[in-house]
A = this chain, B = another copy of it.
């Protein structure tokens, strides 16, 4: 059996790096092999799964410095047919990649807006006068660097290797504890028994909208979980896109959705909300597990 996995491209992005770690774990654990399929955006990676073009997508959900990847949340809510198979937490170490002879000859720095934001203090101190140019991915500008020796890009050291480009500075992220959580996502009727067999489902993710904006409207849904001792590990609001001030709330809960107390909380929850979408129950792979 061979799987196809969509991710944000071109090759060398952190999403591809996460997909490679996942595939290595998968092959070692189950013998399953996989092909990686780069897409030009995160939304298109998820649309590829929804349309059946690939079986899985590996998408970033949240970075410890820059927060939620809103495109992932919005696409999950809109596409309405996807399921989270597992979560994967990966440290992010940014490198400054350039053919320049030194920092003083660099005139512009390219990268994805999240990576630029994660290195903003370093850029302000080490390259205060350069032009900062956002791209659709960390690797989009790497092909330009060979011709333009005044340009640099922020990407992974793995990307520098793939494109055969020199690293001028390593670990330039402002916070050393920088890491990103990714989700491996399938269609919601897909079965991947080996995820369940090899990882305990310790998280559940869902989202809901509220029928009315009155004092306490958000508290009752949250109480449904808190009263049963279910820990909320994350809450994120996104606009419904209907009118300013109306939100969809995304919750990650530290429990398996099959647990009786979770089923009881969900039965309570639906009394207070408008639309509920459950994105699945899943385990977490840490990079230590992946690289062992």
Residues on A facing B (Cβ under 8 Å): 43, 62-68, 70-71, 89, 113, 117, 120, 132, 134-136, 175, 177, 179, 181, 213-219, 222-223, 225-227, 229-239, 241-245, 247
> Are the C-beta atoms of B231 and A215 separated by less than 8 Å?
yes
> Are the C-beta atoms of A233 and B245 separated by less than 8 Å?
yes
Contacts of A213 in B (CB 8 A): 231, 233
> Are the C-beta atoms of A67 and B223 separated by less than 8 Å?
no
> Are the C-beta atoms of B231 and A234 separated by less than 8 Å?
no
| A65-B239 contact, Cβ under 8 Å, with A135-B134, A245-B233 | yes
Q: Give the complex CA separation of A179 and B222 in angstroms.
A: 29
Q: Give the complex CA separation of A232 and B232 in angstroms.
A: 19
Q: Give the complex CA separation of A226 and B233 in angstroms.
A: 22
Partner of A179, one of B71, B113, B215, B244: B244
Q: Give the complex CA separation of A193 and B64 in angstroms.
A: 40
> Are the C-beta atoms of A134 and B136 separated by less than 8 Å?
yes
CB distance from A64 to the nearest CB of B (A): 4
Partner of A244, one of B89, B217, B244: B89
Partner of A64, one of B63, B117, B181, B243: B243
Contacts of A214 in B (CB 8 A): 231
> Are the C-beta atoms of B232 and A247 separated by less than 8 Å?
no
Q: Give the complex CA separation of A64 and B213 in angstroms.
A: 16
Q: Give the complex CA separation of A239 and B117 in angstroms.
A: 13
> Are the C-beta atoms of A237 and B239 separated by less than 8 Å?
no
Partner of A134, one of B67, B134, B232: B134
Q: Give the complex CA separation of A213 and B167 in angstroms.
A: 39
Q: Give the complex CA separation of A271 and B59 in angstroms.
A: 38
> Are the C-beta atoms of A234 and B247 separated by less than 8 Å?
yes
> Are the C-beta atoms of A64 and B231 separated by less than 8 Å?
no
> Are the C-beta atoms of B233 and A235 separated by less than 8 Å?
no
> Are the C-beta atoms of B65 and A241 separated by less than 8 Å?
yes
CB distance from A73 to the nearest CB of B (A): 9
Q: Give the complex CA separation of A120 and B113 in angstroms.
A: 18
> Are the C-beta atoms of A230 and B215 separated by less than 8 Å?
yes
CB distance from A31 to the nearest CB of B (A): 31
Contacts of A229 in B (CB 8 A): 215
> Are the C-beta atoms of B113 and A244 separated by less than 8 Å?
no
Q: Give the complex CA separation of A234 and B222 in angstroms.
A: 15
